[in-house]
Amino acid sequence: MARPDPISIGADCGGPEAIRVAEAKTPLVKAFSQCVKSTHCREIDEYALVLRVDGPLTQFGPEGIFRLRLTKAKRCITVDIQIPQRVWEPMLPQQLRAYLAQQCAAAMKACVARLKKERMVVEESALWQEFEQAIQTYTSETQA
């Protein structure tokens, strides 16, 4: 079985209108895949970020980072990024990209803090250098 990308992003959309957010994450996934070469932590293989995007059919709750879970057996740390409809709906495409980048950074910081709390070694310098390179690539692209 192939190893997952070090950073993956899934999306759970609360209605068809919210697909705009899921589509905006696709180039970010590509940037992470190209720029981030490792989790920089021997104990895990993947940071799994999940966007919970409110829509008219489903609301996931307040804005923020929630449900941080470390699964040692699966060598994965996962976290939900909840995005209310009132937050994403008025955003222009470049604003949405900047927002997603900011939320992913906050989620990754929470993941790294949890790993360190568990006494796992994270090579933060290398991780953040690759992460920032991916974010720079993503936010500098113009939306198609």
Quote the pLDDT of residue 2: 54
29 in a domain, yes or no? yes
Quote the pLDDT of residue 144: 47
pLDDT tens, 37-52? 999 999 999 999 999 9
Quote the pLDDT of residue 3: 63
Structural domains of the chain, count: 1
Quote the pLDDT of residue 89: 94
The vertex-99 CA angle with 137 and 29, nearest 5°, equals 45
pLDDT tens, 114-130? 999 999 999 999 999 99
19 in a domain, yes or no? yes
Return the percentage of the chain with pLDDT > 90, whole number.
Answer: 90
pLDDT tens, 65-112? 999 999 999 999 999 999 999 999 999 999 999 999 999 999 999 999
1 in a domain, yes or no? no
97 in a domain, yes or no? yes
Q: Is 44 in a helix, a strand, or coil?
A: coil
Quote the pLDDT of residue 4: 72
Beta-ladder partners of 81 = 51, 65
128 in a domain, yes or no? yes
Which residues constitute the domain of residue 29? 7-139
